[in-house]
Amino acid sequence: MAKKNSRPNDDVNGNVNLSPMIDCCFLLLIFFVVNATQITVAKDPSVKMPSAVSCSDLKDANGCIVVNVFSDTDKMAPKALEKYSKDYPPGSLWGVADANGRSIGYNTGQVQELTDFIKKQKETFKGKGLEDGKIRLYLRGDMAAPWERSSTAIRCAAAAGVTNIVFGTLPSK
């Protein structure tokens, strides 16, 4: 009989109140969802980003055609060089990612191919209903890359009909 009486007490003590944990979990989830949507452009670690004093947040990455501009390999950090060598053919000056996330490198002799890629991306965005003004070239130039390479990428974008340019930067320390 005594054993029978102890059963209900055990049942009462076994319940854990999960509601505060669920509250915290939801708060964290909302925080990370909001932060994750801020930047959706592909970040290539082979590029060491320049810093700028008057820069603003990239609120909407939709319509951004990302082009990476590389510096000379002797100026790259070991990790960046390793990633660059793995992803791009030797001599690549510009790097992009296609719709499947595959890295494509272009060298000085492939300027027309880069223009065609930008044009194709532009058409893809237009097909999704984006206006011309919202389609932008997102230039991720390495801080040590010569200006000639960045200006060539801008020229390719202009030839493809993309006149809004966004320079990718990091906030200045």
What residues make contact with other proteins under the rule CB under 8 A? Answer: 18, 22, 25-26, 28-29, 32-33, 35-36, 38-39, 41, 43, 49-58, 69, 71, 136, 138, 140-151, 154-155, 158, 163-173
Q: Which residue's CB is nearer to other proteins, number 9 or number 35?
A: 35
And the tokens for 85? 């060598």
And the tokens for 158? 């202009």
And the tokens for 71? 């510096």
Task: Count the neighbouring beta carbons within 10 Å of the beta carbon of residue 173.
Answer: 4
Query: Would you say 148 and 70 are in contact if contact means Cβ atoms under 8 Å apart?
Result: no
Collapsing DSSP states into helix, strand and coil, what is residue 36? helix
Q: Which residue's CB is nearer to other proteins, number 10 or number 57?
A: 57
Q: Which residue's CB is nearer to other proteins, number 1 or number 54?
A: 54
Q: Which residue's CB is nearer to other proteins, number 103 or number 152?
A: 152
As a whole number of angstroms, the distance between CA 69 and CA 66 comes to 10
Query: Would you say 149 and 94 are in contact if contact means Cβ atoms under 8 Å apart?
Result: yes
Q: For the CB of residue 73, give the shortest distance to other proteins in the complex, in Å.
A: 16
Q: Which residue's CB is nearer to other proteins, number 81 or number 166?
A: 166
Which residues are CB-neighbours of 132 under 8 A, at least 6 positions away? 126, 161
As a whole number of angstroms, the distance between CA 31 and CA 22 comes to 14
And the tokens for 169? 């930067």
